Amino acid sequence: MGFDQSEVEKLGEEKIDTGKKLIERLNLLTHIQGVGKVQKKISAEISTLKNAIISKRLKINHIACSNLVHFSYLVKVLEETNDVVGVDFPIKLRGSQKSTIRIDIVANNGKTWIKVIARNPKALNDIALGRSNYGAKSILDHASCYIEAAKDNLQCFQTPKVVFDFANPIDNELANSLEELHIDVRIDGTNKSSGEMNEPIGVNSKLNLDVTTMMAFVSALTCESCDWEFTQKILSEQAHRERSTSTKTFLDELFQGKELIACETAKDSFLSILNVVGGPNEKIRASKLLNSVTFLPDINEIEENSLWSGNVKLRLGKKIQHRTYKVFTFGMYHKAITVTANKGAAEAAKMQGISVPVVIHEARALTEQKQSTAKNF
């Protein structure tokens, strides 16, 4: 069936309207990393169609091949998925600092990677079976790449589950080939074999305590009273936030039933700080805490090298200094989630392509000695 130019332009306008609505829907999800980037890509697709209409060069192929088809399905799956932490998220490949794959949706706190596919089922089958132009990368090639990347990018010491979510039914032979590669196949959001959408979040029973966590756990600010106005602005700000959210309650609940470990570097640093600025009651609480923690040696060079694959390695920097590096690598080696207030270091590691399993809490200083110069409410 042929289309005259006015009909093609009408279809183009409808596609542009679809793109605008997608951007509006994504406005509700801008707290998710990468959503803004997806909105910019959708805007670029809209601009391409608009320019083609203005110049009278719009063809039906422009509409049929528009990436808005992909983005429409991406937004649909995104809205139906829980615990999303990233969209269009880059993952580095083994042996290269530059080569990456992009994960459409990272969910389940990083433990599930979802690739959404809205392409024509016949085209997918033809490429997979070699009935296409030479060099075209098939869905099976993508699957192998995802699986290898997942093995090299553990999340909380687990290989992420890889899901391919197809907008349309696919050939059983292709689905079976994907499942043999350990890909979960979903059709329109439904798991092909079980019908279940979301994966349970795993629980880790071992926690690695950072210096910042030990301080917060024994601080007078979290254990006695936060109704203080200190002469030091940063302490007053911590007291104000503590009145809103109890850090000690958070840590008590987190520690419940867990094995607590820490490295010698963390212990020595904590004791050094405690001896200088800790008050009498903070020192008593610290003694009880230290008795409940298993302290192990810092990992050695051989153990450290066993953590890394290829040339991907956590590097020291402004936000990742020597002590933090020791604490993070210790936790990763012992397969323990690191509990820390050092959010900046965890984010800096992520920027390097290293996902350090962490639980972040707010920082709290030792304040007992400072109360003598503070005002009590």
Q: What does the chain come to in residues?
A: 377
What integer is the mean pLDDT of 334-357?
89
Residue 96's pLDDT band, with cuts at 50, 70 and 90, is low
Sheet holding 112-117: strands in order across?
86-92, 100-107, 112-117, 161-166, 184-187, 190-191
In the chain, % of residues over pLDDT 70: 89
What integer is the mean pLDDT of 336-349?
93
- Please give the single-letter amino acid code of residue 250: F
* pLDDT tens digits, one per residue of 34-75: 999 999 999 999 998 888 888 888 888 778 778 898 999 999
Determine the pLDDT at residue 131.
52
What pTM does this model have? 0.65
What integer is the mean pLDDT of 301-310?
80
E strands, the chain, in order: 86-92, 100-107, 112-117, 161-166, 184-187, 190-191, 206-209, 228-229, 259-263, 294-296, 337-340, 358-360, 375-376
Determine the pLDDT at residue 219.
95
What integer is the mean pLDDT of 278-286?
95
* pLDDT tens digits, one per residue of 99-147: 788 999 999 878 899 999 987 766 666 555 555 554 456 788 888 889 9
Which range is least confidently modeled, 54-68, 134-148, 151-165, 218-232? 134-148
Residue 309's pLDDT band, with cuts at 50, 70 and 90, is low
Q: How far apart are the first and last CA of the chain?
A: 79
Q: Residue 276 pLDDT > 70, yes or no?
A: yes
DSSP state of 127: H
Are β-strands 206-209 and 337-340 bridged in parallel, bridged antiparallel, or unpaired? parallel
Phi, psi of 39 (to 5 degrees): -60, -40
The structure tokens 């601009």 sit at: 47
Residue 199's pLDDT band, with cuts at 50, 70 and 90, is very low
- Please give the single-letter amino acid code of residue 34: G
Q: Residue 210 pLDDT > 50, yes or no?
A: yes
- Please give the single-letter amino acid code of residue 8: V
Determine the pLDDT at residue 109.
79
> Of 26, 124, 136, 122, which is closest to residue 74 (Cα–Cα)?
26
Residue 351's pLDDT band, with cuts at 50, 70 and 90, is confident
The structure tokens 């509409």 sit at: 63
What integer is the mean pLDDT of 152-180?
86
